Amino acid sequence: MASNESKNDLKKKRKQIQEEPEEEELSQAVGLEMLSDEEGDVSAASDDGEVDEFPEINAASDSESDDDGENEEKDEDEERDSDEEDEDDEETDSDNEINPFPQAKTIISDITKQPKRVFPEIEPDYDSDSSTEDDPNRIGNVPLHWYDDLPHIGYDMNGKQIFRPARGDELDKFLDTVEDPKSWMSAFDKSLQMDKPLTAEELDIIRRLQANEVPDVGYDPYEPTVEWFTGKGKEEKMPLSAAPEPKRRWVPSKWEKKKARETIIRAIRQGRIVPSKPNSAQPQFYSIWNEPTDSQHPPPLPAPKPALPTNAESYNPPEEYLPTEEERQEWEAQDKEDRERNFLPQKYGALRLVPAYGQFIQERFSRQLDLYMAPRIQRRRLQIDPDSLIPKLPSPSSLKPFPSYRGLWFTHGKGRARCLSVSLDGAWVVSGDEGGVVSLWEVTVGREVKRWTFSGKIGSLEWCPRTDVSFFVVGVEGHLHFVIPPNLPSGVLTVTQSLLAPGTLPPPPATPSPVKWVSSSSSASLDDPILTLQLPALSGLPGQITWHRRGDYLASVSNSEGEGSVWIHQISRRHSQAPFKKVKGSIQMVLFHPSRPEFFVATQRYVRMYNLAEQKLLKTLMPGIKWISSMDVHPSGDHLIVGGYDRKLCWFDLELSDKPYKNLRHVRYHTKAIRSLHFHPTYPLFASSSDDGTIQIFHARVYNDLMTDPLIVPLKILRGHDIKDGLGVLQVRWCGGQPWLASAGADGKVAVWCS
């Protein structure tokens, strides 16, 4: 403990000692400066030992010695020694070289074309290390106080002792400073323990440091900026960072706001700002339309004005406007929205009796609701004469002849007259009913010539279109009967008989057909069919028979499903074949093309057109009918009409498209399912019959040039058939050569319509 205390004491002492010289040095330093400034030339020669203290303004050394804390005297001396040594080093440097610092040269850079400073290269040889510089004292970097008690201060290059130079006491030092004018220009060299004069450069550095300047002479702190990365043409396109714009960039500064508030408060206090000034900035109304508007936005459309009041709204209307009791009740029973007028006309004898209108505010309000909530559309009011919308067609009277009245009735006894056929010359009609009766009668007078009776319903009837023979085919359940009418010329009869019942049968086909051809004996009477085709079992009633134009082939369509429904029979070869292996949907009708080897097949929804020679599908027509009932092809072969059970009739131009050219399905057309369609073979007419009991006659003119559209003109609606069990006119056929029409109805009557 005692030793500690003594140590503390020692420290205190040392501090006192240390502080004193510092103060001295400071004052001296100040004085020195004064000298140098004022009378630099005069005192240039003065040399003083005190100057050597000058570089020792070093706090670090003090602290070091504090830490050591052993011997203050020694410490101090040693410090001083080392300082002196440093000084010596510098001195030697200055001695060896003319310039202690490498001199920089300013040259023009090759790359940037800007002036730049270049320092001389440092040669990395032995001399370049300052530690090996020519210091006479070669003891190295060891504490000098090791030599404090010795007479020498170190050793030279040859190992000889360097003796401590003689140093005067404090008085000598003072005298030196006074006598030697250059003493302030020398510093104490520690390693040699003696004063050494400072070089001019060193002095310059000292001066600069004292003047707070940059110690390096060549350094120019104010040289012009070289814009390496900024300036025109060097802007960076991309931001250096992807960080989003910080909020502080655009949020008004809070601090500035505070400052501004302070100034505003100050201004208010000083009365420069009056806080609650009455705002009389703008008058309420001024002339707003004096300047033209600068708005780019178009103004909203003006709202439609409400309708102006009519006589009915008068307080004293003419009496006919007053509603009757029923009208009043009806009006009151209606919903508000449904009412045609929002008031009931009333009559008051005098103006003074008119009460307030109860709905006034509601009506204003509903008007406002209309103004801002109702969608508005700009509608162009059509000023069209409605009659101009009706297509202008030639008058029917100019398109005569066409059937316009009923020529005669022919009545079947029982059952519906299902089918009929007119002979090629147009003189004879065969008609069949559901009772199995087939009647042959004359067109002109309606006299029945012959009657055949078959078992079951008659499904279809068709005359052979050949002129050299005369017979017709009757389709009944599972059979096709070939019947020769009576009273034929003998020539025709023999040809017909030889055709239907030839003496030598043609060779049977390679593949046996399920259809059997059975000829009755030729000698048999005309009451029996001369030839019968037995269709395969379960094929059902042949609903349609159609002839090829040459009269050799005929096709029959039975009402059974599947591939067995359609058969094509060839008379000359007595052979039948089913043209379709597989059929999609149930086949409604088939037709031969009048001139080309083509074949139309109507399924429930589509009409397909096949080439029989090449045996491939040509096209599929899409009439858009739900269920096709009938179709017919124009004698030219380029147009097809298709009728459906959904009252629709489509006209196809086969050259044009597989979509209908014209659809007829309107108020004035058939109101019920279409049953039958037929083109007149020579006149430009076609007829359609329907379950509504009417027959419609159309003029259908087809032009040869492809540019003119076919002309369709409705001519006449023929009424007369009764509707029975929801069925009307079941089949219509034109009489060849005359513009006459024969129609078979469900009421058991067959009519002939004449022009």
Binding to other proteins, residues 657-716 (CB under 8 A): 662, 664, 666-669, 712-715
CB-nearer residue toward other proteins: 399 or 541: 399
Of 541, 654, 546, 538, residue with least CA distance to 607: 654
Degrees to nearest 5, angle at CA 209 with 205 and 213: 100
DSSP β-ladder status, 694-701 and 685-690: antiparallel
Q: For 45, list phi and psi in degrees, rounded to 5.
A: -85, -20
CB-nearer residue toward other proteins: 219 or 348: 348
| Dihedral in degrees, nearest 10, Cα atoms 564, 570, 574, 580 | -20
Residue 369 in contact with other proteins, rule: CB under 8 A: yes
Alpha-carbon distance of 679 to 80, in angstroms, equals 141
**Count of residues that bind other proteins according to CB under 8 A:** 85
Alpha-carbon distance of 552 to 306, in angstroms, equals 77
Quickly tell me which residue has 């440097």 as its tokens.
93
Q: Which two tokens stand for residue 174?
A: 């003072």
CB-nearer residue toward other proteins: 574 or 639: 639
Alpha-carbon distance of 492 to 219, in angstroms, equals 139
Site for other proteins in 7-46 (CB under 8 A): none
Give the one residue of 37, 289, 582, 705 binding other proteins; rule: CB under 8 A.
289
- Burial class for 506, CB neighbours closer than 10 Å (0-12, 13-18, 19+): exposed
Provide, rounded to whole angstroms, the least separation between the CB of residue 291 and other proteins: 9
| Binding segment toward other proteins, per CB under 8 A, in 17-25, 374-382, 640-648, 680-688 | 374-382
CB-nearer residue toward other proteins: 669 or 740: 669
Provide, rounded to whole angstroms, the least separation between the CB of residue 690 and other proteins: 13
- Contact assessment for residue 459 and residue 556, using Cβ atoms and an 8 Å cutoff: no
DSSP β-ladder status, 639-644 and 628-633: antiparallel
Provide, rounded to whole angstroms, the least separation between the CB of residue 647 and other proteins: 12
Q: For 332, list phi and psi in degrees, rounded to 5.
A: -70, -30
Give the one residue of 3, 290, 490, 511 binding other proteins; rule: CB under 8 A.
290
Cα distances (Å, whole numbers) of residue 518 to 531, 534, 693, 695? 6, 8, 39, 39
| Binding segment toward other proteins, per CB under 8 A, in 240-248, 303-311, 435-443, 522-530 | 303-311
Of 73, 28, 65, residue with least CA distance to 49: 28
Site for other proteins in 337-356 (CB under 8 A): 343, 345-346, 348-352, 354-356
Asked if omega into 355 is within 30° of 0 (cis), the reply is no
Alpha-carbon distance of 577 to 580, in angstroms, equals 9
CB-nearer residue toward other proteins: 362 or 494: 362
Residue 396 in contact with other proteins, rule: CB under 8 A: yes
Provide, rounded to whole angstroms, the least separation between the CB of residue 274 and other proteins: 14
3-state secondary structure of 599: strand
Site for other proteins in 715-734 (CB under 8 A): 715, 717
| Binding segment toward other proteins, per CB under 8 A, in 290-298, 508-516, 621-629, 680-688 | 290-298
CB-nearer residue toward other proteins: 246 or 292: 292
Helix (H) or strand (E) holding 203: helix 200-210
Site for other proteins in 616-645 (CB under 8 A): none
Give the one residue of 16, 230, 241, 395 binding other proteins; rule: CB under 8 A.
395
Give the one residue of 270, 287, 455, 523 binding other proteins; rule: CB under 8 A.
287
| Binding segment toward other proteins, per CB under 8 A, in 65-73, 363-371, 589-597, 629-637 | 363-371
Which residues of 654-704 form beta strands (DSSP E)?
A: 662-664, 674-679, 685-690, 694-701
| Binding segment toward other proteins, per CB under 8 A, in 42-50, 211-219, 262-270, 287-295 | 287-295
CB-nearer residue toward other proteins: 212 or 378: 378
Provide, rounded to whole angstroms, the least separation between the CB of residue 374 and other proteins: 7
Site for other proteins in 308-337 (CB under 8 A): 308-311, 313-321
Provide, rounded to whole angstroms, the least separation between the CB of residue 622 and other proteins: 18
Residue 255 in contact with other proteins, rule: CB under 8 A: no
| Dihedral in degrees, nearest 10, Cα atoms 672, 673, 679, 685 | 10
CB-nearer residue toward other proteins: 499 or 649: 649
Provide, rounded to whole angstroms, the least separation between the CB of residue 306 and other proteins: 8
Give the one residue of 384, 445, 510, 613 binding other proteins; rule: CB under 8 A.
384
Give the one residue of 367, 451, 619, 659 binding other proteins; rule: CB under 8 A.
367
Q: Which two tokens stand for residue 449?
A: 């010539």
Provide, rounded to whole angstroms, the least separation between the CB of residue 678 and other proteins: 18
